[in-house]
Amino acid sequence: MSEQTNQQNDGQVIFGVQRATKHFGGLAAVDRVDVDIHQGEILGLIGPNGAGKTTLVNIVTGMLPITSGRVFYKGREITSWAPHRVGRLGIARTFQIVKPFRNMTVKDNVAVGAMYGHGGAHRSARQALEKAEEVLEFVGLEDQMARGADQLTLGALKRLEIAKALAMEPELLFLDEAMAGLNLREIESAMELVRKINQSGVTLLVIEHVMKAIVGVCSRVVVLDFGQKIAEGTPQEVMNNPKVIEAYLGEKFARRLREEAAHG
Partner 1 sequence: MSEQPPAPLPREKKVPVQVTRFDKVLGQRRNLIYIVVGALVLVVLLALPPLGVSGFWLRTITQAYVLAIMAIGWNFIGGYTGYAAFGNVAFFGLSAYVTGILMKKVGVPFLPSLLTGALFAAAFAVLIGLAVLRLKGHYFAIATLGVAEATREIIADDLGFLLKIPGDLLGLIGLDKAAESLHAAAEKVAITDGPRGIVLPFFQPPFQIGDLTKVQIEAWFFYYLTLSLVILGILGTWWLIRTKLGYSLVAIREDEDSAKMLGINTTWAKVTAFALAAFMAGLAGGINAYWKTFVLPEEVFRIGHTLEMILSTILGGPGTVLGPALGAGIFTLVSSLLIFKLKLGGFHVMITGLFIVIVIVFTPKGVGEFLTGKKPLALSSLLENIRRYRV
Q: Would you tell me which residues interact with partner 1 (CB under 8 A)?
A: 61, 63, 82-84, 87-88, 92-93, 95, 99-105, 107-108, 111-113, 115-118, 120, 124-125, 128-129, 146, 148, 164-165, 168
Q: Which is nearer to partner 1, 158 or 220 (CB)?
A: 158
Which residue lies nearer to partner 1 by CB, 166 or 191?
166
Min separation Cβ 250 and partner 1, Å: 33
* Smallest distance from partner 1 to CB 132, Å: 10
Cβ of residue 232: shortest distance to partner 1, in angstroms? 26
Closest CA to 8 of 33, 39, 30: 39
Question: CA-to-CA distance for 192 and 252, rounded, in angstroms?
Answer: 28
For partner 1, the closer of residues 99 and 196 by Cβ is 99
Closer of 98 and 231 to partner 1 (Cβ): 98
- Minimal distance in Å, beta carbon 70 to partner 1? 21
Provide, rounded to whole angstroms, the least separation between the CB of residue 67 and partner 1: 20
DSSP output for 157-190 = HHHHHHHHHHHT--SEEEEESTTTT--HHHHHHH
Q: Alpha helices, DSSP H only, in the chain?
A: 53-60, 83-89, 106-116, 125-139, 154-167, 184-199, 211-217, 235-240, 242-244, 251-262
* Residue number, 22 or 164, with CB nearest to partner 1: 164
Q: How far is CA 251 from CA 156, 192, 206, 240, 255, in A?
A: 34, 29, 23, 10, 6
